[in-house]
C-alpha cells in the first residue's frame, strides 16, 4: 500500500474509533453493564492505540465522576471480605444505591486468582442489575494493577454507581494501593489476637479508618475481646502525637463487630460510614485526601509510562541483559549500570 493511502486508511480508522468510543461513553453514562465492561477492557489493554483511546474515553467521562463514595476493604484471606461486600452490597442495593465492586490483586497474573475465582463469588450481588463486579486486571497491565483499578473506578462512577468498593485480594502491597485510591479504608479482622498483631506489624493498622471484627457470630465473647484489644492498640498507636486542634469534631478510628454471614452489624457499619463522611467533609479532609490521591496518581502514571518506554527502547532492550548480569555479579555499580542504560535511552534514536 502506498504510504499516503496507508495514512488515509489509518486516519479513517481512528475517526471510526472516535465515533465508536463516543457512543461507548454515552452508553457507560446510561449505566449499561456491557458498556462498562467494554470500557474497562479498553483501558486494561496494553496496545498503544487502545491506550490513547482509553485516555480520551476517561477524559470524556471525567465530569461525571467523583460523586461516589470509595471504600477499600482489606484483611487476611478468609476473614470474610467477599462475603462482607456481598452482604453490604445487597443491603445498599435494597436501599436504592448502585454498587460497584473492584479488586486489586497484584499477584493475579501469577496465580490466576481474582475475586471471581474466589470461593465467595458474590452470586446474589452479581445477579443484580444495580451492581457491577469486576475482577482484578492482570498484573501485566501497563502501568500496574492499581492504576487500572483506579480508572475502572472512574468508569463505574460515570455509570452512576454511588458506592464503589475495592477489595484487596492478594496479600502483599495491595493494602497501600487500595488505601491510596479510596476515601475510607476498612480493615477486617478475625476475632482472635494473632491477626491483630500481624496487621500491626505490617503497618496496615495505621492505614485503617475503621476496623471491623467480622465473624462475630462464631464467638461473641471472642469478638468482644478482640474489639477491646484493637481499640486499645489503636489508642496506643495514635497516642504520642500532638493534640490536634478541633479534635472533638474529627473522625477517630473506630472498631465495630459484624457478621457478614448473618448481616448483623451491617446497618451499624453503614451508619458509621456516613458519620465518617460527614466529619471528613466538614473538616475538609475528605477533599484533601482526594486531591493528594490525584496528584500521586499522576506521578504513578508518569513513572509507569517512563519505565515502559524505557524497557521498550530498542537499544536499552539490547543492552539490558548484559548490564543486569554485570550488576548482579558486582562487576558494575548499580548506579553505573543505570547511567549506561539511561544514556542509551536519552540518546537520539540512531538512523539505520
Ligand atoms: N460464620 C461466619 N463465616 C463467615 C463470615 N464471613 C465470611 N465467612 C466465611 O468465611 C469464608 C471466607 O470468606 P470470604 O468472604 O471468601 O473471605 P475473603 O477471602 O476475605 O474474601 C467463607 O467460607 C465464608 O462463608 C461470618 O461473618 N461468619
Ligand atoms: Mg475474597
Q: Could you report the per-residue pLDDT of 110-158, keeping only the tens digit for each?
A: 444 444 445 557 889 999 999 999 877 766 555 677 888 999 999 999 9
Q: Is 123 in the pocket of ligand 1 (CB under 6 A)?
A: no
Superfamily of domain 66-282: P-loop containing nucleotide triphosphate hydrolases (3.40.50.300)
**Residue from 76, 79, 80, 117 whose mutation best tests the ligand 1 pocket (most atoms within 8 A of CB):** 80
List the chain domain ranges.
Answer: 1-64, 66-282
Q: Specify the ligand 1 atom closest to the Cα of 75.
A: 20
Q: Tens of pLDDT along 291-317? A: 999 999 899 889 888 998 999 999 999
Look at residue 17 in the predicted model and tell me its pLDDT.
87
CA of 108 to the centre of ligand 2 (A): 13
Q: Specify the ligand 1 atom closest to the Cα of 214.
A: 27
Q: Specify the ligand 1 atom closest to the Cα of 79.
A: 20
Of the listed ligands, the closest to the CA of 190 is 1
Q: Specify the ligand 1 atom closest to the Cα of 77.
A: 19
Task: Tell me if 1-64 shares its fold with 66-282.
Answer: no
Q: Once rounded to an integer, what is the mean pLDDT over residues 156-165?
A: 97
Give, using CA atoms, the residue closest to atom 12 of ligand 1: 78
On average, the pLDDT of the chain sits at 87
Q: Specify the ligand 1 atom closest to the Cα of 258.
A: 27
Of the CATH numbers 3.10.620.30, 3.20.20.70, 2.60.120.10, 1.20.5.170, which one belongs to the domain with range 1-64?
1.20.5.170
CA of 251 to the centre of ligand 2 (A): 28
CB contact set of 113 (below 8 Å; sequence gap of 6+): 105, 107, 169, 170
Above 90 in pLDDT, residue 163? yes
Residue 349's pLDDT band (boundaries 50, 70, 90)? low
Across 91-95, 202-206, 235-239, the highest mean pLDDT is recorded for 91-95
CA of 282 to the centre of ligand 1 (A): 35
Look at residue 140 in the predicted model and tell me its pLDDT.
59
CA of 92 to the centre of ligand 1 (A): 19
Q: β-strands 69-74, 184-189: how paired?
A: parallel
The rounded Cα 77 to chain-centroid distance in angstroms is 17
Q: Tens of pLDDT along 201-217? A: 667 888 899 999 999 99
298 or 172: which leads in pLDDT? 298
Q: Is 220 in the pocket of ligand 1 (CB under 6 A)?
A: no
Above 70 in pLDDT, residue 196? no
Of the listed ligands, the closest to the CA of 136 is 2
Q: Once rounded to an integer, what is the mean pLDDT over residues 195-200?
A: 59
Query: pTM to 2 decimals?
Result: 0.86
Amino acid at each position: 500500500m502506498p504510504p499516503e493511502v496507508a495514512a488515509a486508511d489509518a486516519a479513517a480508522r481512528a475517526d471510526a474509533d472516535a465515533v465508536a468510543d463516543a457512543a461507548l461513553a454515552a452508553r457507560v453514562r446510561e449505566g449499561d453493564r456491557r458498556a462498562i465492561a467494554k470500557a474497562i477492557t479498553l483501558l486494561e489493554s496494553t496496545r498503544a492505540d487502545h491506550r490513547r483511546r482509553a485516555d480520551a474515553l476517561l477524559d470524556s467521562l471525567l465530569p461525571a465522576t467523583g460523586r461516589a463514595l470509595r471504600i477499600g476493604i482489606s484483611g487476611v484471606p478468609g476473614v470474610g471480605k467477599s462475603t462482607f461486600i456481598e452482604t453490604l452490597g445487597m443491603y445498599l442495593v435494597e436501599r436504592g444505591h448502585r454498587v460497584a465492586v473492584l479488586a486489586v490483586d497484584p499477584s493475579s497474573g501469577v496465580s490466576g486468582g481474582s475475586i471471581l475465582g474466589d470461593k465467595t463469588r458474590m452470586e446474589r450481588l452479581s445477579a443484580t442489575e444495580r451492581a457491577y463486579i469486576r475482577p482484578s486486571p492482570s498484573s501485566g497491565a501497563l502501568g500496574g494493577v492499581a492504576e487500572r483499578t483506579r480508572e475502572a473506578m472512574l468508569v463505574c462512577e460515570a455509570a452512576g454507581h454511588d458506592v464503589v468498593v475495592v477489595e484487596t485480594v492478594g496479600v502483599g502491597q495491595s493494602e497501600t494501593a487500595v488505601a491510596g485510591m479510596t476515601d475510607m479504608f476498612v480493615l477486617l479482622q478475625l476475632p482472635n489476637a494473632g491477626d491483630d498483631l500481624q496487621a500491626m506489624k505490617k503497618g496496615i493498622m495505621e492505614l485503617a479508618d475503621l476496623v471491623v471484627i467480622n465473624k462475630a457470630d462464631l464467638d461473641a465473647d471472642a469478638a468482644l475481646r478482640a474489639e477491646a484489644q484493637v481499640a486499645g492498640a489503636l489508642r496506643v498507636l495514635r497516642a504520642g502525637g500532638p493534640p490536634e486542634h478541633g479534635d472533638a469534631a474529627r473522625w477517630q478510628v473506630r472498631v465495630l463487630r459484624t457478621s457478614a454471614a448473618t448481616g448483623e452489624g451491617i446497618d451499624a457499619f453503614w451508619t458509621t460510614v456516613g458519620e465518617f463522611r460527614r466529619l471528613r467533609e466538614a473538616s475538609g479532609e475528605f477533599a484533601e485526601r482526594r486531591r493528594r490521591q490525584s496528584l500521586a496518581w499522576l506521578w504513578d502514571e508518569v513513572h509507569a509510562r517512563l519505565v515502559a518506554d524505557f524497557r521498550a527502547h530498542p537499544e536499552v532492550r539490547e543492552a539490558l541483559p548484559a548490564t543486569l548480569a554485570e550488576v548482579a555479579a558486582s562487576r558494575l555499580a548499580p548506579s553505573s549500570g543505570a547511567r549506561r542504560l539511561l544514556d542509551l535511552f536519552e540518546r537520539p534514536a540512531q538512523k539505520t
